[in-house]
Amino acid sequence: MSEPVLYAERGSSWWPVLWGPAFALLGAVVEVTTPGPRHGWVWLLVGGLLAIAAAVWVHGRRRLVSVRLTPAELVQGREELRVERIAAVTDVGAPVGARVLGGSWAVPRGTGEVPLRLDDDEVVLAWAKDPAALSRALTRLVEE
């Protein structure tokens, strides 16, 4: 039985994988509608390589920049934090040099930080694209 997910961010959707083939198709259409040689196989190769590169990027974003909160744990990228270890969510300042959850040096670009005080008085930085929503969900769990 899996636990309910109270807050989640995927990190990325899979639609960017279609960008490369779409640009290659556009290039092939331009080439067909203008005079000169045709390079159909090159456009297939370009579209395929761009799709592969985008798939690697999306896969990395989904692993490293995803957020999931259940009643038992907060998962930030590659790091899992038991909710029972969180002592406070509100009125926690973010000291300089606070450890960022997920194994990064800084909160991921495009996200906001949510300072958390742990049971050993260490302050760590959780992060989310919607930090207020994550903070509200964590506050409900911690104050129960």
- CA distances (Å), 74 to each of 13, 18, 23, 84, in order? 21, 31, 38, 10
Q: For residues 58 and 115, state if they share a domain.
A: no
Domain end residue (candidates: 23, 43, 64): 64
Same domain? For 42 and 105 the reply is no
Instruction: State the pTM of this model.
Output: 0.79
Q: Is 69 exposed, middle or buried (0-12, 13-18, 19+ CB in 10 A)?
A: buried
Residue 21 has pLDDT above 80, yes or no: yes
Are 37 and 97 members of one domain?
no
Give the pLDDT score at 104.
85
- 106 and 79 fall within a common domain: yes
Q: What is the 3-state secondary structure (H, E, C) of the chain?
A: CCCCCCEEECCCCCHHHHHHHHHHHHHHHHHHHCCCCCCHHHHHHHHHHHHHHHHHHHHHHHHHCCEEECCCEEEECCEEEEHHHEEECCCCCCCCCCEECCCCCCCCCCCEEEEEEECCCCEEEEEECCHHHHHHHHHHHHCC
Q: To the nearest whole number, what is the mean pLDDT of the chain? A: 92
Asked if pLDDT for residue 36 goes beyond 90, the answer is: no
Where in the sequence is the domain holding 130, given as residue range(s)? 69-142
Same domain for 130 and 75, yes or no, is: yes
1 has a pLDDT exceeding 80 = no
**3 found inside a domain:** no
pLDDT of amino acid 40: 86
Shared domain for 83 and 132, answered yes or no, is yes
pLDDT of residue 114: 94
Mean pLDDT (whole number) for 37-59: 94
Per residue in 78-107, pLDDT (tens digit) is 999 999 999 999 888 888 889 999 988 899
Last residue of a domain, one of 21, 48, 64: 64
Whether residue 59 is found in the same domain as residue 78: no
How many folded domains does the chain comprise? 2
For residue 3, what pLDDT is reported? Answer: 84
Per-residue pLDDT at 120: 94
